[in-house]
Amino acid sequence: MAVLDGARGGGELAIETRGLRKTYRSVRGRSVGVEGLDLRVPVGGVHGFLGPNGSGKTTTIRMLLGLVRPDRGTATIFGHEVPKRLPEVVGRVGAIVESPKFFPAFSARRNLRLLADAIGAPAGRVDAVIDEVGLTGRARDKYKGYSLGMKQRLAIAATLLKDPDLLIFDEPTNGLDPAGIREIRQTMRGLADQGKTVLVSSHILAEVEQIADTVSIVARGRLVAAGRVADLIGAGSATGSVRLRVAPTDLTIATSVLETSGLLVRREHDALVVDGAADPAAVNRALGERGVWARELTPLQADLESVFLGLTAGEVPGGGERGPATNGTTTGVGA
């Protein structure tokens, strides 16, 4: 397990779990949802919670919120053991678990009004949070008539009713269009910039990479890596790989030249990927000496997705077959 300094630090923790375990019983037997998970989410910033489908992200969040009882292990939120002492800290936690869930026949305002009254929030708070998420014009409409994006925004408004210190968003951008995704991303980043802690589980890794300060990656209910995003990517970047493009007629000779120079070469569509090239200039030099000229020579850098796929190889369909991807790749991994 790769645990980098960012997650090991001794600072105050918003969330900490130790040996958290949850199994589910069904007619087909017992399945493990979370297996001995040790999770540490520092106070402040955005913490990405990543893992393949069925890796236990939502189950972990449910256990933190007291919706599901762990079989074993402990969990704390701001130092309060949950679920035992959850009532003491629940006022500091806002959460959306999976898709937003409100009373379909009630308006947005009525749904929030009920929640606000349940926690004794001031009367004006409902309108304030509705305004904050841009739903003022539709606040009297029934929830069941809302688009997915509006439902997500309403859910965020609900989490803000308490003015929480910790926000937990479970797949908050599911089903949203690009504009909606950007809006949610900006909201999460904005909340973190206000000093709040945001825990976000998402299957869109590029999105998490853009906003997360730290991440935890889980597979089969266990933590496989944790740390600052930059550190994780940095650790995965030492590949020494370059992508090379030459004239199509030179592909064969270029391959031969580079292999003779002791480099590993593989074909990727109309390009060559050269592994083990610590210095791209060496590739260029070897080719030039044989009169082959590169049209493009790009050092390949790992991104969060490649790190994720590397760490969870075998957990994701096809996950072990992917090579390093260039920055900006947005291919998602099903969550």
Partner 1 sequence: MSRLLRVELRRLWARQVTRWACVGALALVALTGAATFLSAPPPSDQQVAAAEEMFEADQEQWEKDGEQQVADCEAGAEAEGLTPEEWGCDQMAPRLDWYLPPTQTFVPDAAQDEMLFGESEVGAQDDATRAAVQEIQGSVWNGWSGLATLDDLAVLLLLLVLVVGVSFVTAEINSGSLGMWLTFEPRRQRVYWSKAMAAAVGTVPIVLVGFALLVGASYAVYASFGTLGDLTGAVWLEVAAFTGRLLAAGAVLAALGVALGTLLKHAAAAVGLVGVVAWACLAFAYSFGELQRWLPTTALSAWLQGGLVFQTERCTPSADGVFECVPVDHVVTTVQGGSTVAGIAAVVTLLAVLVFRRRDAS
Q: Which residues bind partner 1 (CB under 8 A)?
A: 62, 65-69, 83, 86-87, 90, 93-95, 97, 99-106, 110, 114-115, 117-120, 155, 158, 162
List, in order, residues 6 or more apart from 261 with CB less than 8 Å away. Answer: 282, 286
For partner 1, give the closer residue by CB, 40 or 162.
162
For partner 1, give the closer residue by CB, 119 or 281.
119
Q: Cα–Cα distance between 328 and 241 in angstroms, integer?
A: 17
Yes or no: say if 89 and 78 are a contact pair by the CB < 8 Å rule.
Answer: yes
For partner 1, give the closer residue by CB, 67 or 230.
67
Question: In angstroms, what CA-CA distances link 236 with 33, 52, 240, 276, 323?
Answer: 28, 19, 10, 14, 11
- Quote the least distance from Cβ 218 to partner 1, whole Å: 19
For partner 1, give the closer residue by CB, 67 or 264.
67
* Token digits of residue 291: 């009169």
For partner 1, give the closer residue by CB, 147 or 186.
147
For partner 1, give the closer residue by CB, 95 or 263.
95
Coarse DSSP helix, strand, coil percentages of the chain, rounded to the nearest 5 percent = 35, 30, 35
Q: Cα–Cα distance between 142 and 325 in angstroms, integer?
A: 44
- Quote the least distance from Cβ 67 to partner 1, whole Å: 4
For partner 1, give the closer residue by CB, 105 or 264.
105
Cis peptide before 83 (omega within 30 of 0): yes
- Quote the least distance from Cβ 26 to partner 1, whole Å: 13
- Quote the least distance from Cβ 16 to partner 1, whole Å: 18
* Token digits of residue 332: 């998602």
- Quote the least distance from Cβ 197 to partner 1, whole Å: 16
DSSP string spanning 290-311? TT---SEEEE----HHHHHHHH
- Quote the least distance from Cβ 59 to partner 1, whole Å: 9
DSSP reduced 3-state for 134:
coil
- Quote the least distance from Cβ 164 to partner 1, whole Å: 10
Taking residue 78's Cβ as centre, other Cβ atoms within 10 Å add up to 18
- Quote the least distance from Cβ 328 to partner 1, whole Å: 36
Question: In angstroms, what CA-CA distances link 270 with 95, 161, 183, 192, 275?
Answer: 47, 54, 37, 43, 16
DSSP string spanning 45-74? EEEEEE--TTSSHHHHHHHHTTSS--SEEE
For partner 1, give the closer residue by CB, 120 or 262.
120
